[in-house]
Structure 1
């Protein structure tokens, strides 16, 4: 990407305030989690409960504002603005660009939740979010299954990608249309010239912390799932210590790839990973209830849009419970904590696109792919519950990391498919840690696109250490808390970016012919 405009900015490639502020904050979190595991676990639970119950409404409102803003940018005349200026040409063809968006949309989460989430919603539906909100359907009926997929689509659909679209578009705009560094700080100083430098540094520290916690959460889920798969295949015991060791080993491989600068190797690993994921999905689609899945894909999309406004604004107001805090609020905070990472990646590959092309591609392409993935795995699992042998609900409620492997046990070649799933999760782990290290190093250096050796290795190790510490102290609950607590304040930054982006791009609307 060196030939692209943008990213010139300052020659300073090291911001000590940001680097030491972020490493210090993350270091304190790691030490607290490791040295006081019992107290840390209880503390994480208390913090998560307070934040989700007091500010859950704020996250729901924020993601809806981001989605409306993204759609308006695409459908209004601002959509004609081209990233890089009127004569800019995209560096990647449409199919290549779409493929990269696919890869951005794929991750450990899809494998972890592809079976587990629909089955959990099916067996433990929230009381007040049914298709008929005045009359909850009895558990186990087809209505539960339909609504389970609707909730899954809500969590993995347009709202998630609107978050990424806004931050990616904001960074791409200031990099390619204002020739500044690809950083949140550069955007805020350009959009709001009076913002003090210390506040920009604080926001960069927050962005790094959010990214590290978001990626660490994914790696923690991945280690739990790898542990579950190895327990099935070779009898490796499941537990926090084993998962921490798995994190250490795979983070070591990711750090080695960073140290050796194996860009081509990581690229080939990503391509192999994507191919294996598609192959696994194709296997489930063909070996499973194929016609049922085709019917379900169409009906799931219809249900999602029919109930879109209700589900998008539902806040569990009139029924007691904390279902939403463990699902919707967690997801929104998790996506926000990932947004600096994914946003920078999307910005780097989108030079030459119009805003309309950018928003349409980022919102629609990964969303449809994710919906297809969730339908193949989620509805295949629900088909087993509704029309087959059953038993998945009990397995998933006992252990979410075991969900995928319990599901694959109903298919032929189960051990081969499970082994393939373990390889896919492990390679997602390596590429996520490596890419996350690159992005955090970029933020710490003020948006420089070619971060140095030491920063990348430092952040790769930090991500692995944090994931291991959180798993050790509180398991998946601690991972959820880290994502929520860091994602919540960063939502304020995203709202500021929406306001600044709308104000800046309006000045660049092409005149009518």
Structure 2
């Protein structure tokens, strides 16, 4: 049975050369994609951007409904499974969890919330406030539009998004790896469908590579955009040059933090960063609530959750036939595809950190507790933006119509109690949010290559540095290329979604198998 630790055992022979980085097929295809994207961008920026944009638009219109149904089915099946006796089964053949509940939840929150917490929590609710979402009929920019604006953000970052990242797929992987001894790789999700030939043949490598490429596309984007956001923030707050040199300095600092964290492992660096960020987020949240419009936050959260519940299916099933194509592409379908693209590697990570937890605990943590925490965070930052927009303190209409979310985040942060100090705290928070994604995904890619939960620290560092280098090269070409790569995850989500599809029935089967093996049910 695979054993778990965060340091490579000296007694275990380690592969040499390219084999040390994992499956050669995965390595060649993944690194090949990174090199090809960069070289093609150097050759013709417009060609790459236009090609990705065209594929992005086609995918969003043609397959958007499929993505939506996949997320809906995953959430409701996972919640139904959590209510069964089989959900008492423990993950990883451990009677007790490897880490405390607080540490475990901190890692989950900080790993999966990075994109929302960093780039969209402040600006997205304000955008939906000034531009009414298609599923709603409120007058934009008025008090009546507040609840719906936040509800639409909750739809994008709430229960459906979180469920696909770490419930059914994580259960399948946990059972396959810790009980059957199969590799902790995305290909394992398709083992019940395609059988043994998948595990050692080139097709398995292709499947793993597709998931790695999708995750790289989704992670390099936040790494690159964080560099531009912090550079812009330092310029606005202290007059530092908002230049490529500043962006590179931020990128190097960020990479150093998350690479060291990934190398030291789950029980050291990853856990430390996550706990620090949770405490910082709690402190920021406390200041906002205590010194801001407290009653507004409370009332807004309650009314927004009511709107979320009332309009849940209308927002979740909105299609290109009933909403403008551009809106679906850049909001609901984009986010849902982003989460699908991340899901296999996130599921690997969730399965790894949840050893000793019951299936019910894991589902509730990922699909209920984490989304609720996300909606609170969006209410504090995005609700503040809406409040100050209503009061005329700020005006983000032009910035958000141009999708300038770095401007929105800093503008809202400066308007909060504490002004410049609050803006600095939020810049630090966003930096560590991205670092926690960088370290966990460097670790997860290394796990995919190794096939077990004890990958070499050097391999973790390799993948972390590779993503930082790609972000730096694309930033030198212009932030637009980082955006093009971010859009690419929608294309990558198509094959990844097919890898996830069998988990709708294999997830419950794996849970019941674990429950029978542990004597919980007959």
**Which residue of 284, 287, 290 corresponds with 1:283?**
287
Residue 294 and residue 105 in structure 1: after superposition, are their counterparts in 2 closer, same or farther (change >3 A)?
A: farther
| Corresponding residue number in structure 2 for 1:133 | none
Structure 1 residue 463: deviation in Å?
Answer: 1.0
| Corresponding residue number in structure 1 for 2:444 | 439
CA contact under 8 A between 1:437 and 1:460: conserved in structure 2?
yes
**Which residue of 97, 114, 131 corresponds with 2:121?**
114
Deviations along 1:268-312, whole A, 9 cap, x unmatched? 344333322222222222221111111122222222111112211
| Corresponding residue number in structure 1 for 2:213 | 209
Does residue 19 of the first structure (1) align with residue 27 of the second (2)? yes
| Corresponding residue number in structure 1 for 2:54 | 46
TM-score (norm 1): 0.89
Residue 237 and residue 48 in structure 1: after superposition, are their counterparts in 2 closer, same or farther (change >3 A)?
A: farther
Q: Secondary structure at the match of 1:322?
A: helix
Structure 1 residue 122: deviation in Å?
Answer: 1.1
Q: Secondary structure at the match of 2:53?
A: helix
| Corresponding residue number in structure 2 for 1:140 | 141
Pairs within 5 Å for 1:377-396? 377-396=381-400
Pairs within 5 Å for 1:106-255? 106-126=113-133, 128-130=134-136, 136-164=137-165, 165-189=167-191, 192-193=194-195, 195-196=197-198, 197-238=201-242, 243=247, 246-255=250-259
Q: Distance in 2 between matches of 1:312 and 1:140?
A: 23
Q: Distance in 2 between matches of 1:91 and 1:252?
A: 27
Q: Distance in 2 between matches of 1:461 and 1:249?
A: 12
CA contact under 8 A between 1:337 and 1:490: conserved in structure 2?
yes
Deviations along 1:395-449, whole A, 9 cap, x unmatched? 433521111211122234311111222222223333332322221111122x222
CA contact under 8 A between 1:440 and 1:459: conserved in structure 2?
yes
Q: Distance in 1 between matches of 2:486 and 2:521?
A: 49
More divergent stretch after superposition (112-121 vs 392-401): 392-401
| Corresponding residue number in structure 2 for 1:488 | 494
Q: Distance in 2 between matches of 1:72 and 1:412?
A: 42
Q: Distance in 2 between matches of 1:357 and 1:246?
A: 37
Structure 1 residue 458: deviation in Å?
Answer: 2.3
Q: Secondary structure at the match of 1:341?
A: helix
CA contact under 8 A between 2:103 and 2:275: conserved in structure 1?
no
CA contact under 8 A between 2:29 and 2:209: conserved in structure 1?
yes
More divergent stretch after superposition (312-321 vs 468-477): 468-477
Does residue 404 of the first structure (1) align with residue 409 of the second (2)? yes
| Corresponding residue number in structure 1 for 2:315 | 311
| Corresponding residue number in structure 1 for 2:423 | 418
**Which residue of 38, 45, 48 corresponds with 1:30?**
38
| Corresponding residue number in structure 1 for 2:97 | 90
CA contact under 8 A between 2:300 and 2:383: conserved in structure 1?
yes
More divergent stretch after superposition (147-156 vs 409-418): 409-418
CA contact under 8 A between 2:157 and 2:371: conserved in structure 1?
yes
Q: Secondary structure at the match of 2:321?
A: coil
More divergent stretch after superposition (117-126 vs 339-348): 339-348
Residue 509 and residue 38 in structure 1: after superposition, are their counterparts in 2 closer, same or farther (change >3 A)?
A: same
Structure 1 residue 460: deviation in Å?
Answer: 1.3
Q: Secondary structure at the match of 1:276?
A: helix
List runs of 5+ in structure 1 lacking aligned partners.
131-135
Deviations along 1:346-368, whole A, 9 cap, x unmatched? 11122233222221222111111
Residue 291 and residue 244 in structure 1: after superposition, are their counterparts in 2 closer, same or farther (change >3 A)?
A: same
Does residue 464 of the first structure (1) align with residue 468 of the second (2)? yes
Q: Distance in 2 between matches of 1:262 and 1:147?
A: 38
Structure 1 residue 173: deviation in Å?
Answer: 2.1
Structure 1 residue 52: deviation in Å?
Answer: 1.3
**Which residue of 355, 374, 379 corresponds with 1:375?**
379
More divergent stretch after superposition (411-420 vs 358-367): 411-420
CA contact under 8 A between 2:107 and 2:271: conserved in structure 1?
no
Residue 149 and residue 80 in structure 1: after superposition, are their counterparts in 2 closer, same or farther (change >3 A)?
A: same
Residue 157 and residue 457 in structure 1: after superposition, are their counterparts in 2 closer, same or farther (change >3 A)?
A: same
Structure 1 residue 96: deviation in Å?
Answer: 3.9
Pairs within 5 Å for 1:301-340? 301-340=305-344
Q: Secondary structure at the match of 2:502?
A: helix
Q: Distance in 2 between matches of 1:430 and 1:366?
A: 19
Structure 1 residue 327: deviation in Å?
Answer: 0.8
More divergent stretch after superposition (410-419 vs 486-495): 410-419
Q: Secondary structure at the match of 1:409?
A: helix
Structure 1 residue 453: deviation in Å?
Answer: 4.1
**Which residue of 99, 117, 142 corresponds with 2:106?**
99
Deviations along 1:301-357, whole A, 9 cap, x unmatched? 222111112211111313443101101111111112222332222111222332222
Q: Distance in 2 between matches of 1:228 and 1:65?
A: 40
Deviations along 1:47-87, whole A, 9 cap, x unmatched? 211221222122112111211221222123432333245x7
Q: Distance in 2 between matches of 1:340 and 1:512?
A: 28
CA contact under 8 A between 1:213 and 1:466: conserved in structure 2?
no
List runs of 5+ in structure 2 lacking aligned partners.
none
Residue 488 and residue 142 in structure 1: after superposition, are their counterparts in 2 closer, same or farther (change >3 A)?
A: farther
The root-mean-square deviation of aligned C-alpha atoms, in Å, is: 3.1
Q: Distance in 1 between matches of 2:358 and 2:13?
A: 27
